[in-house]
Amino acid sequence: MKIGISGINGRVGRVLKSLIVENPDQYKDINLVFGLARYAASDLTLDVTDDADTFFDGVDGVIDFSLPDNFVRLAELNCDKYGKFMVSGTTGMDAAQMDAIEVAAQHVPILHAGNMSLGVNLLCALVRQSAARLGVEYDIEIAETHHRMKRDAPSGTALMLGRAAADGREVAHDDVAVFGRHGADVLRKEGEIGYAVQRGGGVIGAHDVSFFGGSEELTLSHKALDRALFAEGAIFAARWLKDKPAGRLYSMQDALEI
Ligand SMILES: NC(=O)c1ccc[n+]([C@@H]2O[C@H](COP(=O)([O-])OP(=O)(O)OC[C@H]3O[C@@H](n4cnc5c(N)ncnc54)[C@H](OP(=O)(O)O)[C@@H]3O)[C@@H](O)[C@H]2O)c1
């Protein structure tokens, strides 16, 4: 399949390009034809265009890691004129932008995921399943560690895991989430989902979800070892999406069939 990468100059775009170009055996079904960028960086060694029409014309499908405005613009153009499949990991969309993507997904195949990691998406399903089966006598605690440059806390992935746990228990996440504990009167309440955050060094991302029972503990754990995990997940998603019909916005849970 002929693929174009939108956001080719970005951190993930570059990892994606290197992964495909440097592993031709593993990705022999993928022909990386174009990058879309606002400017063509001289070190990219790939055809780069800033023209979205040229971009869509030459590809079967698009993988996008860019900015919300760009993703929405591409989805709408694709819908109007091209009908190509789109995988996007772009985050930070507001409600109106998500609505626009939902509308576009009625007409062209789109898969969007805030976290493209196969492991994290599987972990979410396992957390949901565990929370549904283990009662409130099992205390759920989520611990995450990231590099010292990360600004937000807890991580989006930790929140995704917390929401999966709340879904499993059929409770509203925001009613039971507790973000950090400090002080003389912070006794744990039944049903809380607690978050603990560490920041330091160059840790790409580590997440533990623990279920503490009276006589046993279960911990489900994920560690990111390389930023390529997002790129690998996006390619997995593209391979799954390429023959799917439009009609609804797909997620990584769909691609993993979980
Ligand atoms: N879902 C996941 O698993 C996952 C994982 C990591 C990151 N992300 C998300 O993916 C997105 C990209 O992440 P990143 O770390 O690669 O960010 P980044 O390094 O800032 O790259 C974003 C790229 O988007 C490009 N872009 C913006 N508007 C464009 C336009 N109109 N036309 C063409 N290119 C345009 C920018 O191009 P210029 O260089 O020309 O400005 C930039 O290179 C973010 O939303 C991030 O949160 C998702």
pLDDT at 90: 92
More confident residue, 41 or 100: 100
Handedness of CA 47, 52, 58, 61 (dihedral sign): positive
- CA of 128 from ligand 1 middle (Å) equals 30
CA distance 196 to 191: 16
Kindly state if the Cβ of 68 falls inside 6 Å of ligand 1.
no
Q: Which residues are designated catalytic?
A: 146, 150
- Residue 44's pLDDT is 67
Q: Would you say the CB of residue 105 lies under 6 angstroms from ligand 1? A: no
Q: What pLDDT score does 245 carry?
A: 97
Rounded to the nearest 5°, which phi and psi values hold at 30? -115, 120
Q: Confidence class of residue 42 from pLDDT cuts 50, 70 and 90?
A: low
Class of domain 2-116+227-255: alpha beta
Q: Give 113's Cβ-side CA count (13 Å radius).
A: 27
Q: Is the CB of 3 under 6 A from ligand 1?
A: no
pTM for the full predicted model:
0.89
Q: Which tens digit of pLDDT belongs to each residue from 137-151?
A: 999 999 999 999 988
- For residue 67, give the ligand 1 atom closest to its CA: 27
Query: Which pair of structure tokens corresponds to residue 161?
Result: 């895991």
The model's confidence at residue 227, banded by pLDDT at 50, 70 and 90, is confident
Query: In degrees rounded to 5, what are phi and psi of residue 174?
Result: -65, -20
Which atom of ligand 1 is closest in space to residue 36's alpha carbon? 33
The per-residue pLDDT for 39 is: 78
In CATH, what is the architecture of 118-223?
2-Layer Sandwich (3.30)
Assign 199 a pLDDT band (cuts: 50, 70, 90): very high
Question: For the residues 49-69, what does the mean pLDDT come to?
Answer: 94
Q: Do domains 2-116+227-255 and 118-223 have the same CATH topology?
A: no
Express each pLDDT in 100-122 by its tens digit. Answer: 999 999 999 999 998 999 999 99
Residue burial 233-248, b: 16+ Cβ < 10 Å; e: rest: bbbbbbbbbbeeebee
Band (62; pLDDT cuts 50, 70, 90) = very high
Mutational test site, ligand 1, from 14, 36, 38, 43, max ligand atoms within 8 Å of CB = 38
Check residue 152 and give its pLDDT: 86
Domain edges within the chain: 2-116+227-255, 118-223
DSSP 193-235: EEEEEEE-TT---EEEEEEE-SS-EEEEEEE---THHHHHHHH
Ligand 1 mean position, distance from CA 79 (Å):
21
